[in-house]
Amino acid sequence: MITLILNIQNHKGADALTLTFPYHAQLISEVKKLPGITWSASKRVWLLPFCPGLIESVKHILGHMVQIDDTEAVKKAERIAGEHRSTEAYADKLEAFSLWLNSKRYSSNTIKTYTDAVRIFLRFMKGKPVGEIEQSDFIHFNNEYILKNGYSASYQNQVVNGLKLFFRTVENRKIEIEEIHRPRRERKLPAVLSKEEVKQILESPTNLKHKVMLSLIYACGLRRGEILRLKPDDILSDRKLLHIKQSKGKKDRIVPLSDRLLEMLRAYYKMYKPKVWLFEGQTEGEPYSEKSLESVLKQSVYKAKIGKPVTLHWLRHSYATHLMESGTDLRYIQELLGHNSSRTTEIYTHVSQKNIQQIRSPFDDL
């Protein structure tokens, strides 16, 4: 008889029940019927968003077909239940923190990131009164939760920032950040495509909407969220400009639109006639989804036969680098990208092919 192993793992910041078993066509067919089930290709397991009673439900539905090993899942479920009970005592403080962030007009993503960070930390404290939390607790959490689980330096910084803000605003206390060993910021170079590779990607879609979206991201150096929040009146066609409103850092900026891109936008508008958002999903008035946009890029990269893990942000990086290689002043590139500091924009000098190729190696003088 087939053995189905149940376990609980963290998946994209949330607890998920995992189902692992040898390949069996009939069992796979039954598993697919479970509400909310997804397949993780990277982890090679089936996933269900965890909730109380889920383990028993799965056993009831699939128990007649397989032998179920739920030993680890039950242990972790009991621990999770205890952690959730311990965070109930902090509910008012978490609510107060969320309201404060809202009042200061933090973005929805930042509010979620910071409140989740504080919730995880308080759960780790297992009911210890907030007023009794000491500096050593932060260090212990950093060592035993963040570092032990191998979370990234950027995630560690987000957690530290969230905790620092929570204790300053809600508890009126300061955290000595230096003692938490804030990680050194990684200095990675941006991934850049050649102009030929960009051309191949942009010419791959047969769907006009898909082609225009990818072209606009590259031609204007847009972030993913920026293109999805565009509205038809953000296209200033008479001035050949694109108005990007309230982007990162609550800033507006304008970028030029070429005649060729304006022609594509006009053809797109005539065909799709968007009502609220420039790019809408299948439901009229609803913005195009991030997941669908990423899927469009993935399919275009596949059709272009480019064997690189290209993301939407690679198009923005490529835009900036290609501007630099064509001789555009760094200060203008900074404005076009919406960077606060020129130091952020200067990183593209490290990947500019033109700048690097102009350097003469001392080897040639030997």
CA distance 90 to 121: 11
Report the alpha-carbon distance of residue 134 to residue 112 in Å, rounded. Answer: 25
Q: What confidence score (pLDDT) does residue 283 get? A: 85
Residue 363 lies in a domain: no
For tokens 């939760």, what's the residue? 145
Active-site residue, 173 included: no
Catalytic residue among 210, 316, 317, 322: 316
Same domain, 115 and 63: no
Indicate which residue of 59, 245, 248, 303 is catalytic.
248
- In DSSP terms, 48 is beta-bridged to 17
**40 and 59 share one domain:** yes
Question: Cα 235–220–276 angle (5° rounding)?
Answer: 35
Mark whether 24 is an active-site residue: no
Lowest mean pLDDT, pick from 79-83, 162-166, 257-261, 360-364: 360-364
Cβ neighbours for 191, distance < 8 A, ≥ 6 positions apart: 308, 310, 311, 314, 317
Options 93, 112, 128, 223, the catalytic residue? 223
Q: Left (φ > 0), alpha (ψ -120 to 50) or beta: where does 91 sit?
A: alpha
Same structural domain, 97 and 150: yes
Q: What CATH number has the domain bearing residue 100?
A: 1.10.150.130
Of 151, 180, 209, which closes a domain? 180
| Domains in the chain, number | 3
Residues 285 and 254 placed together within one structural domain of the fold? yes
Q: Say if residues 192 and 201 touch (Cβ distance below 8 Å).
A: no
Is 121 within a domain?
yes
In this predicted structure, the answer to whether residue 302 has a pLDDT above a threshold of 70 is yes
Whether residue 99 is found in the same domain as residue 213:
no
**What CATH number has the domain bearing residue 274?**
1.10.443.10
Catalytic residue check, 316: yes
167 lies in some domain: yes
95 and 65 part of one domain:
no
pLDDT of residue 21: 93
313 is catalytic: yes
* The last residue of a domain, from among 139, 156, 180: 180
Phi/psi at 17 (5° precision): -85, 125
> Radius of gyration of the chain from Cα atoms?
25
| pTM recorded for the entire structure | 0.59
Task: Identify whether residues 230 and 345 lie together within a single domain.
Answer: yes
Tell me the Ramachandran region of residue 262: left when phi exceeds 0, alpha when psi lies from -120 to 50, beta otherwise: alpha
Q: For residue 13, what are the domain limits?
A: 3-80
The answer to whether position 125 is within a domain reads: yes
Which structure tokens are listed for 62? 């699939």
Are residue 68 and residue 109 in the same domain, yes or no? no
Among 209, 190, 188, 195, which Cα is nearest to 306's?
A: 195
Could you report the per-residue pLDDT of 208-247, keeping only the tens digit for each?
999 999 999 999 999 999 999 999 999 999 999 999 998 8
pLDDT at 359 over 60: no
In a domain, 187, yes or no: no
Q: What are the C-alpha distances in Å from 24 to residues 31, 39, 66, 288, 329?
A: 10, 15, 11, 37, 60
Do 175 and 44 fall within a single domain?
Answer: no
Residues 174 and 302 grouped into a single domain: no
- Evaluate whether residue 10 is within a structural domain: yes
Query: What integer pLDDT is reported at residue 344 of this predicted model?
Result: 76
User: Does the pLDDT at position 347 exceed 70?
Assistant: yes
Answer whether residue 94 is part of any domain: yes
- Give per-residue pLDDT as tens, 55-101: 999 999 998 889 999 999 998 888 777 666 656 667 888 888 999 99
User: Of residues 128, 182, 243, 313, which has the active-site annotation?
Assistant: 313
- DSSP line for 93-128: HHHHHHHHHHHTT--HHHHHHHHHHHHHHHHHTTT-
286 shares a domain with 238:
yes
Within-domain flag for 364: no
Residues 70 and 134 in one domain: no
Q: What is the pLDDT of residues 255-296, one digit of tens each?
A: 999 999 999 999 999 999 999 999 999 888 899 999 999 999
Report how far residue 97's alpha carbon sits from residue 166's, in angstroms, rounded to the nearest whole number.
6
From 155, 180, 205, give the residue that closes a domain.
180
Buried b or exposed e, range 314-338, using 16+ CB within 10 angstroms: bbbbbbbbbbbbeeeeeeebbebbb
